[in-house]
Structure 1
Amino acid sequence: MQNGKMKAVMKKHGAFGAVLAEVPIPEIDKHEVLIKVKAASICGTDVHIYNWDQWARQRIKAPCVFGHEFSGIVEAVGENVSSVKIGEYVSAETHIVCGTCIPCLTGKPHVCKNTAIIGVDTAGCFAEYVKVPAENIWRNPADMDPAIASIQEPLGNAVHTVLESQNAGGTTAIIGCGPIGLMAVAVAKAAGAAQVVAIDKNEYRLALAKQMGATSTVSVEKEDPLKIVSALTGGEGADLVCEMSGHPSAIAQGLAMAANGGRFHILSLPEHPVTIDLTNKVVFKGLTIQGITGRKMFTTWRQVSQLLRTNTLDLSPIITHQFPLEEFEKGFELMRSGQCGKVILIP
C-alpha cells in the first residue's frame, strides 16, 4: 500500500499557483503515522505559498506538497509506535519540535528553536495521505465533523491568542477578521468578554464576525476604530487587543486603542519591520505585549477540544465553502478574494 500513488496539490515550480499531481504515498519511519486525509482546510500560510510571495520564496523548497490543517483516519503506524492505533480518527499538531532545546526541556515546546512545520518544511496534507510523527497526533471524538476537526489547528491559534489574558467582563478588540480572527471573536465571547469589537475592511467577513458573536463591528474604510472603541468603553480603551491583520497602520491603531495597563497580543506576521511609538503607546500606557506563535502543546489542544465537545463554540458559520481536492483552484481564488470564511478541500 505504501508503494502506491496518491493525488496531491503540489507547488511544482517557484511561481504563482499549484498543480494537481500524482505522487508516491509517503513512506513512514519507525516513529511516524500515516493518515488517510478526510478533510483539509486552506490557511493563510497556504495562500502565501500559492501566491509565491516574498516569504514563500525564502522559505519553501519546490517541488513540494503543502497544506497543514487536516483530519483523517490512521492508515498505518511505524514499528516503534504504540500510542496510536490503525483506524483512529485524528488531527495533528503541525509544529514538529526537537524535544532537546531549552524551550522544549522547560515546558515551552511551542517556541522550540528548531521547529519544523508540516506542509512548510515537510510534505503536507493537500493529498490523499499525510505522514506525521506519532507524538503530534490528537484524537478526535468519533462524531466530530471532519471539516470542523480539520480547523482545530487554526482554532488553537485563536484560543492561544485570546486566552493568554483573562478578560471576562472586559472589552476585547479583534483587528483583522480572517478565519482565525473570526474564531477569536467566538473564543472571546465564549470566554466572557462583555464586548467583542471586530475590526476589518471586508464587509463579508464583518458580517461573519456578527454571526460569531461580535457585539460591534467596525469597517475601517467607513469608520474610525479609535473613536468607536473609545465611545464603547467610556474613553478607557480595550482591555485586550488581538492583532490579526499584520498591517502597520492597524498595529498602530491597536496600540492606541488599548487601555492603560491593557494587553496587546500579536498573532499576525507583518511582511516588513513595523515602526511603533514605544514611549507613548507602550511604556507610558504600561501595556503588556505578547507575541503568539502556534499552540501550547498540548494545553491549547485540550482547550480547543473541550470548547468544541461541549458546544461552547459553534464554528459552523465559518466553514463557508467545501470543494473536492481536484477543485483546489476555486478554493484558493476564494481565499485570495476574501469572500469566504474557511475553505475545506476533500480528497
Structure 2
Amino acid sequence: MKALVKERDEPGLRLMDVPEPQVGPGEVKIRVLRTGICGTDLHIRKFDDWARHTLKPPLIVGHEFSGHVVEVAPDVEDISPGDLVSGEGHLVCGKCRNCMAGRRHLCRNTIGLGVHRDGAFAEYVTLPASNVWVHRVPIHPDVAAIFDPFGNAVHTALSFPLVGEDVLITGAGPIGLMAAAVATHVGARHVVITDVSEERLDLARKLGVTLALNVSTSPITEGMHRLHLREGFDVGLEMSGNPAALRDMIANMTHGGKIAMLGLPAEEFAVDWATVVTSMITIKGVYGREMYETWYNMSVLMEKGLDLSPVITDRFPYHDFDAAFDTAASGRTGKVILDWSPTTTDRSA
C-alpha cells in the first residue's frame, strides 16, 4: 500500500510502498478515505526539536482520518465492515489510576497514533476497536476526517457554560475556528475571535462570529467598545499558544472569568498572576478529547445542524502531499484535506 513515511531523522516525508497492516486481537482495519493535516504533522515534516526527541523513524505519520472498516478481529463487537469511522488518536493503557476511574483522557501512558505507532496517512490503518468511532448518521468523509481536531475544539469550548456568555477566542486557526462555530451554535451572546491573518478572520466571519478582530491593527479593547462590553469577557478560549494573546485575554476578562487554554506555547513566558488572583480568574489546561464524552458531543452537534464545511478550505490528492503541507504551513488557510479514496489511488497508479 501507499503511505507517507518519516523514513529518516531528517526533514521531509516520503510517499512509499509499505506492507498493509494486519489486524491484531481487538483491532479493526480501516480503508482510509480522507486525512487532515495537523500542526503535529507539520512539526514532524519539519523535524524540529520536538519531533527529533519524540519520533523513532521509520514511521507512518498522520492521525486525523476517516475511512470504511474492511476487517474486524473475531473478538470485536458492534463494528462491522462497511461502517464509516473516525479514530481517537490517543491510545491509553487502561490500567493507570485515571484510566481505571474512567478518565482515559488523563492517562499518563498515552501512545499517539502517527507519533508513537504507525498512523493514518496511508491506504490502510489499524486501531484498537475501543479507539474507533462509528458514524451512525450520514456525514461527509471530509468532515469525518477532522473529528480529532473538532474534538479539541469541542473539549475546549464546552469546558465552561457558554449560554448567554461573552466569549473571547484568541487564535483563528482551524481549531479556533471550530471552537467559534461551537460557541455560536450553543448560544453564546457574543463570540469575538482574534488573529493577525485576514484570510482566517474572513473564515471566522463566514462561520457567524460576532466580531473577527485583527489584533495587529485593533486591540481587544476596541472590540469590547464596539460591542458595548463594560466588564470584560466571561469565557476565554486560548487557541494560539501566543504569549501576547494569553496576556491580552487575562487583561480583558471579567472578574470571575474562566479561561480554557488549548494553545501550546513553544517556550515558557511570563503571566500577570496578580491579575489572575485579584480578578479570581480560572485557567484550565485542555489536551485532546474526553473519551468518549467529547465524541458524543461532537456527533450530537453535527446532528443538530452545526456546519463545519467552511473550515475546510483546501483538498489535495494524497500524491500532492508536498503542496498540501506547504498550504497548511502557510498560516492563511483553514483545514487541509488529503484524499486517499480508491479513485485517487487509481489516478496516481
Q: Residue 293 of structure 1 is aligned with which of 278, 287, 297? A: 287
In structure 2, C-alpha distance between the alignment counterparts of 1:56 and 1:49, rounded to whole Å: 5
Deviations, residues 255-295 of structure 1 (Å, cap 9, x unaligned) = 1112110101100111111221212x211110111011111
What aligned pairs does 1:53-202 form with structure 2 within 5 A after superposition?
Answer: 53-141=48-136, 143-202=138-197
Matched with 1:209 is 204
In structure 2, C-alpha distance between the alignment counterparts of 1:183 and 1:172, rounded to whole Å: 14
* 3-state SS in 1 of match to 2:18: strand
Q: Residue 229 of structure 2 is aligned with which of 227, 234, 249? A: 234
Deviations, residues 155-179 of structure 1 (Å, cap 9, x unaligned) = 1111110111112111111100110
**Comparing 175-184 with 223-232, which one deviates more in the overlay?**
223-232
Matched with 2:277 is 283
* TM-score normalised by structure 1 residue count: 0.95
What aligned pairs does 1:15-30 form with structure 2 within 5 A after superposition?
Answer: 15-30=10-25
* 3-state SS in 2 of match to 1:300: helix
Kept in 1, the 8 Å contact 2:211–2:223? The answer is no
Q: Residue 258 of structure 1 is aligned with which of 244, 253, 261? A: 253
Counterpart residue type for residue 184 of structure 1: A
Matched with 2:344 is none
Matched with 1:244 is 239
TM-fit CA distance, 1:143: 2.8
Deviations, residues 86-106 of structure 1 (Å, cap 9, x unaligned) = 222111111111111111122
Counterpart residue type for residue 282 of structure 2: T
Q: Residue 223 of structure 1 is aligned with which of 195, 218, 227? A: 218
TM-fit CA distance, 1:321: 1.0
Q: Residue 333 of structure 1 is aligned with which of 326, 338, 346? A: 326
* 3-state SS in 2 of match to 1:37: strand
TM-fit CA distance, 1:109: 0.7
TM-fit CA distance, 1:231: 5.3
Count of residue correspondences: 340
Superposition CA RMSD, Å: 1.3
Runs of 4+ in 1 over 4 A off after TM superposition: none
* TM-score normalised by structure 2 residue count: 0.94
Structure 2 gap ranges (5+): 341-349
* 3-state SS in 2 of match to 1:8: strand
Deviations, residues 138-165 of structure 1 (Å, cap 9, x unaligned) = 1114631100111111111111101111
**Comparing 189-198 with 228-237, which one deviates more in the overlay?**
228-237
In structure 1, C-alpha distance between the alignment counterparts of 2:259 and 2:119, rounded to whole Å: 32
In structure 2, C-alpha distance between the alignment counterparts of 1:127 and 1:84, rounded to whole Å: 21
